[in-house]
Amino acid sequence: MIDEKANIPFSAALNKHGVKLKRLETHTLQVNVGLLCNQACKHCHLDAGPGRTEVMDGGTMDAVVAYAERSGFKAIDITGGAPELVPGIDAFVQRLARLAPRIIFRSNLSALNEQGQAPLIETLVNNRAVITASFPSINAAQTDNQRGRGIFEKSVAVLQELNNRGYGKADSGLELNLVSNPSGAFLPQGQEHTQKRFRKILHEKYGIVFNSLFAFANVPLGRFRDWLEKSGNLESYIEKLAGSFNPCAVDGLMCRSQVSVSWEGHLYDCDFNLAADLPLGGKKIHVSELEKAPALDSAISVADYCYTCTAGAGFT
Amino acid sequence: METYYDPADLAKFGEIGKDAPELAKKFFDYYGSVFEEGDLTEREKALIGLAVAHAIQCPYCIDAYTNNCLEKGSNLSEMTEAVHVVNAIRGGASLVHGVQMRNIAEKLSM
């Protein structure tokens, strides 16, 4: 896992600051529908990409729907890979949208530009799905270096199309959020500043509007970790993350109120524990075996990539 | 290979305060205040810092402000333009003294 000689383990950092990481009420279900993606982004913590065959099948989708029905989540968050590319995703979104007041659909944007996605976009509009879209940088070269040639231009085109459908516009009820992350082994700028700058430049240059922007650091897992190792940045990046540990960020961590389910139906505290195959409660449980959401005060599995979510203002 | 500059020394900047600690504290407090958001954004100040780092050719500053620019949301395109600003002014500062050269040459020449 992570080179620990440079830093104290994350669990020890929590103890040192007298902070306990336990569950609050679990109100969000995050569903990772698989690793298939039309992009192979360098910062991907999952190693998702074209040619990956791990996608959620119909039986697992049924089990996830049943779990959501008996648990009463406030939000369901669909992620991947590129969820757009998963067979049956349209119907799955419609089924889940009936089971929670808020449904979030994570998109890399270029996948929505692929042929045949118009009905899915219609489903997202009709079900008032919140689209949370990856948009790392307002600089085309930085974006394309991270996500693939031409991706910046495609992403802009899709954002303009989503705006035309009402997403991001005031009073439309269609929420469009952006997620920005650094294009390398450095920490992100403060979220407020990034949001202000993106809002100004995207509007001035491309006429694009959005609701909120979230700035996240890259997690040292998957393809990003491989890149960190090959580029000689791993040790210094981990030091940066650990050196920016903010105990105040622990309160708002998403793992405290979220449960993640993988394409195979196994449960995790978050998508990063999923990527590292660190299951909920330390042993693999299938979603069909868990009666309800994980209990209040139950323990959360941690590892040293957790320093990403507690760096600076945190990752909440 | 021994060199005068070791990148690891940048992290030891604070050790300058081991002697004359009060002066070091005044300096670092002032330094921190200079780079806070003001009428200029933190990103703009980082780019200015990067430019000055190249003007004075300080490898510590170039390291620190390259990192800082990226962390404040800048990119290679902006940062390269900043280095060209340095170059333009440094070059221009030499070139403009050519006016003095011309004044003298014209006085001496028939």
Question: By the CB < 8 Å criterion, does A209 face chain B?
Answer: no
Higher-pLDDT residue of A1, A44: A44
The domain spans of chain B are: 15-108
**Predicted confidence (pLDDT) per residue in A16-35, tens digit:** 989 889 999 999 999 999 99
Check CB contact under 8 Å for A184 and B76: no
Smallest Cβ–Cβ distance between B75 and the set A139, A188, A194 belongs to: A139
Contact state of B73 with A183 under an 8 Å Cβ cutoff: no
For residue A197, pLDDT beyond 50: yes
What one-character DSSP code corresponds to residue A296?
T
Q: Is residue A4 a part of any domain in this protein?
A: no
Chain-chain contact of B43 with A142 (C-beta, under 8 angstroms): no
The C-alpha angle with vertex B69 and arms to B64 and B72, in degrees rounded to 5, equals 120
Q: Look at residue A2 and tell me if it is in a domain.
A: no
Evaluate if pTM is beyond 0.80. Answer: yes
**Which pLDDT tens digit goes with each residue over A78-121?**
999 999 999 999 999 999 999 999 999 999 999 998 878 889 99
End-to-end alpha carbon distance in chain A: 23
Q: Report if residue A213 sits inside a domain.
A: yes
Q: Which domain holds residue A156?
A: 10-308
Tell me whether residue A316 is in a domain: no
pLDDT of residue A5: 41
CATH code of the domain occupying B15-108? 1.20.1290.10
Query: Considering its fold, how many domains does chain A have in total?
Result: 1
Q: Give domain status of residue A5, yes or no.
A: no
| B4-14 pLDDT per residue, tens | 999 999 999 99
Q: How far is CA A132 from CA A186, A290, B102, in A?
A: 23, 28, 63
pLDDT tens-digit readout, A236-276: 999 999 999 998 889 889 999 999 999 999 999 999 999 99
Closest CA to A234 of A218, A253, A249: A218
Closest CA to A182 of B89, B17, B22, B70: B70
Quick one: average pLDDT of A64-81?
96
Interface confidence, given as ipTM, is: 0.73
**Is residue B108 very low, low, confident or very high in pLDDT (cuts 50, 70, 90)?**
very high
Q: Flag whether A3 is in a domain.
A: no
Q: Is A24 contained in some domain?
A: yes
> Residue A169's domain is classified under what CATH number?
3.20.20
Amino acid at B38: G
pLDDT at position A3 over 90: no
pLDDT band at A4 (very low <50, low <70, confident <90, very high): very low
Do B75 and A188 lie within an 8 Å CB cutoff?
no
- Asked whether residue A136 is assigned to any structural domain, the reply reads yes
Outline where A137-295 has alpha helix (H): 140-147, 151-164, 191-206, 222-230, 234-243, 271-275
Is the CB of B40 inside 8 Å of chain A's CB atoms? no
**Which ranges in A23-117 belong to alpha helices (H)?**
58-71, 89-97
